Amino acid sequence: MQCQTVLPGIECTFWGKQGCIFTNGSCQTIVENCEGCDRIVTGTIGQVCNAYPAPVKKWSNGICNFASHVKIEIKVEDTKMNPLKASKKASGAKKKK
């Protein structure tokens, strides 16, 4: 149904026949870590997230997985191994005595 308080007219899964069913009956405003994110929209209570109603929770365990402005860099070590050795290692081959 469409929100009628924070983001009037916007479809929201938390809006039901009895109003907003999210914690405390409302979305929460963004947190400092959100600044720069493309998902920030302006609602009647200030800047809110259009992807998740409680931004503080999204950052409580690390980087928000919906954030558009933060990229996670994964370093892959460039380890080169002889393909024959790698094959033997993978098959669990034992050395001959």
Binding stretches for ligand SF4 (CB under 6 A)? 30, 34, 37, 39-40, 49, 51-52, 55, 58, 64, 66-67
Q: Which is nearer to ligand SF4, 4 or 59 (CB)?
A: 59
Compute the least distance from the CB of residue 12 to ligand SF4, in Å: 14
CB neighbours (10 Å) of residue 16? 10
Closer residue to ligand SF4 in complex, CB, 6/67: 67
Integer CA distances (angstroms), 81 to 33, 65, 85, in order: 41, 34, 7
* Nearest residue to 44 via CA among 17, 11, 6, 79: 6
Tokens standing for residue 8: 């009037």
Neighbouring C-alpha atoms within 13 Å toward the C-beta of 59? 14
Nearer residue to ligand SF4 within complex by CB, 20 or 37: 37
Q: How far is the CB of 40 from ligand SF4 (least distance, A)?
A: 5
Cβ at position 68, least distance to ligand SF4 in Å: 6
